[in-house]
Structures are given as structure tokens and as C-alpha cells.
Homo-oligomer: A and B are copies of this chain.
């Protein structure tokens, strides 16, 4: 597979392109995203789905701009998919041929089931794991659901309701009652096995709502991906967005170019949440584009025709324990191998357990921290802990909750320094003693990593460190660490 792969996704509302950069076999990150509101569905819903000339021209202009970026970034492979508006359009072939002829792009129209499947694949592989959940992807023309259970997609469904569709068929005519009834009727048909207390929210409208909630909370992490909230805490707000004509969207931080479809998005969302009896919302920054990319990355030999029959029969996942963000951060920023530090944090966590008594689950975050604590060095040595923390908070996107990211960053940033308050991250972090201990353990392991053959013993409230007696700098570093409890350290 090429180093850089682009996925173009042409919806009813906007055309989007994501450029994925692979940093190793399965490690990757998103280098660029482009979004153009082409409104391909515009004017079509009242006209039997026929794509209108101006809308088609807009798409062609936008695609030619996409192509320019493909050359700028030397993208080796382009996967180009079209969804609801093209599925609906009797004249889609004419348009697809124009795209092929004028731009040389192979635009592949995918079914609603495949669209749901790709969203599910993205959520399964790139969100922090959930035992059971249902994804909802609200688009301009359609809404897709995928039911996830025990790491697999167990069912998918595509509904012909979407924001632009509702807008054009009802809202633009002032018929909110009609919109509600139309949506309710379709949503009533969702089979009951999609019911789930955990919902994964995909798509621009739901991301915009999550973004507004993050702003209201002063949430200290920027990325919307994996942001979680209790639906009940914000159901009033979401209902207001959906139905209150007086509600001023400018009072919450929703971008202007969302104003015209956010009401419809909120309406569909609230109805689906009710139908699914959902409680917790997990925001997904990933969706169809990531699903298409992952399918290509992880199952390059899988033929489309085999995939589309019963897509959920195909297992599309990373090797066990593999995290593509962790890998790609290491690929991009690591300047040295940290395996000795990782070995020592594990040993120290265990041997000092009688002293710290920290829940063993936190060892996971400590281990990730030990892999990434010095990546900030690639920005520069001064304040390298702060740089490493910055990279964790801003680039460890996939597979970790915001709580995990905040804890990994805090362990790295403090690293044995004194901690008086956890600042704006307090709500995401465990209690301060846990952070003190974990950061101390990392600081200690990092100083000791100078010598590969150290062993530990803990007795009579003393940590015996064996095999580092003649290390001068190492012992100096350890003296500077703030111990989170009273105990002695002795070098033997």
C-alpha cells in the first residue's frame, strides 16, 4: 500500500477528502482533511432524486481542487466513494462518467449497508473499546446504524432520513410537524436488537453537537474524537436545537456553516436515541472515510464483491494489542528505544505495590507513558516533558479515552516533580496521589534506564536498587525526584 492514501467521500451535503499518511505497516495518522459543502443533494429530493446541473458542476470543481492536493502530497492511492445522493439519483451514471472522463477518478457508489459497515469498522478499530454499542451516522441524505457486540459488527441498517433531505422536504416549507412524523415513521422500523445504552455518534452534525458540549464544559482536550457525555445531561439542549425556533445557535459554539442543517441533525439524533434507549454518547471523529481506508489497509486482498454480500462476516481489525496512533507517534517522534524504561516501570509498580496500593488497571497508562515519555525531544530538549505531553494530548487520537490521554500526559509531564494541583485536567484524572505515584515511578524508571540490568527489592520500607551503585548522574537524577510517600532508596 502507498505511503499516502486519500479517501474521498461524496455525500448529499459535502464532499470530503482525507489524506492518510502511513508511518509503518499499520501505523498511520490523518495528514489532511478537506471539506467542501457542494450540496450535491440540493434541489434533488423534490425532483425524484435527479442531480441538478449546478450541484454536479460544484462537485467537479471541488474534485479538481482535491486532485491538486493529491499531487502536492504525492498521494499514491485514491479511493473515491459516493453515498445517499448518488444512490437516489436516476442520473448518477451520467455524473459518474463525467467524473471519470474529466478527472480520471473512479467514483464508486456504495450501498447504505456498506456505508453503515464502514462506519462500524472505523468505530470498532479507532474508538476506545466498548463491549456493546450502536453507531449512528447522520448524513445529508441517509442515516446509518451498526450494532457492535464483543468486538464485532452484528447488524447494520441504513435509513432514508438525513439532514438535507428533511430540510428540503419539510423544514424549508415550514412543515416541522411533517418532518417529525416522517422521521418517526422511519425510525420506528429500527429492529429492537439495535437497542443499546452506549451510542457512538458519527458524522458532522453529531460532532458539532459534541463540540458545543465540550465548549460548555470547558473540556480541556481539544479533539472531539472519543469525547463522551451523558445524553440526559444535554437532552434539553439537543431538543432546543432541534425544535426551538427562537434558540440562537450563536450562543453555543457551532460553526456557521452548520447552522442550516444542525436542527435536522439534532431532531434525528433525539429520535434515534429515544428509540435505542441510549444513555451514554461516545463521539466518533472517524466514520466512512476511515472505514474505507482501514478495510483497504487491513484486508487489501478482499474483493468488493465478496465484501458487499454480508459485510459483517468479514473480520477487519488490527493485530491484537496494536494501536495505530501509538505506533505512528513512535514512528514519527521517537528518538530511541524505551523498552528498558517500560521494563522498569512494570517491575517498580509491582514491587512498590504494598506502598502505593494503586489499582492494577492504571499500569496500562503507566506503560504507555513509559513508551512515549521522551517523544517531545523531537521538538527540542528544553521542556521536553511538556512537549511529550502535548503530543500525547494532540496525537494519541485512536483507541484511548480522554481520561486515559489526560493521565498518560500527566504522568509524563510531572515525572516525579511535586504536584500541588491537577489544574484544568482534574475532572479527567484519578486522585492526585495516583498521579503522584505513577509520575514518580516513571521518573524513577527513566533515570534508571541508563543501566539495562537493574533489579529491585523492597524490604523494611526501603527500595533496594541493585546494579547501579557506580552511576553518578543516575543517582543525582533520582535524588531530585519527589517521593510520594516516606520510604528509603538504597543502591547496592
Residues of A in contact with B (beta carbons under 8 Å apart): 29-34, 36-38, 58, 61-62, 65-66, 68-69, 72-73, 222-223, 257, 285, 332, 335-336, 377-383, 386-387, 390-391, 394-395, 397, 450-451, 470-474, 476, 480
Q: Which residue of B lies closest to A257 (CB)?
A: B480
Min distance, Cβ A74 to any Cβ of chain B, angstroms: 9
Cβ–Cβ < 8 Å partners of A73 in chain B: 335-336
Whether B379 pairs with A65 at a CB distance below 8 angstroms is no
Contact A473-B394, Cβ < 8 Å, known A32-B381, A381-B32, A386-B222: no
Whether A472 pairs with B391 at a CB distance below 8 angstroms is no
**Tally of this chain's copies:** 2
Min distance, Cβ A2 to any Cβ of chain B, angstroms: 15
Cβ–Cβ < 8 Å partners of A65 in chain B: 450, 471-474
Contact sample, A vs B, 16 pairs, CB 8 Å cutoff: A30-B381, A30-B382, A36-B476, A38-B472, A58-B472, A61-B472, A62-B472, A62-B473, A65-B450, A65-B472, A69-B450, A73-B336, A223-B383, A285-B382, A387-B394, A390-B390
Assembly CA distance A381 to B397 (angstroms): 11
Cβ–Cβ < 8 Å partners of A31 in chain B: 335, 377, 381
Assembly CA distance A380 to B222 (angstroms): 12
Whether A34 pairs with B336 at a CB distance below 8 angstroms is no
Cβ–Cβ < 8 Å partners of A222 in chain B: 382-383, 386
Cβ–Cβ < 8 Å partners of A394 in chain B: 379-380, 382-383, 387
Assembly CA distance A68 to B380 (angstroms): 21
Min distance, Cβ A473 to any Cβ of chain B, angstroms: 4
Q: Which residue of B lies closest to A4 (CB)?
A: B335
Cβ–Cβ < 8 Å partners of A383 in chain B: 222-223, 394
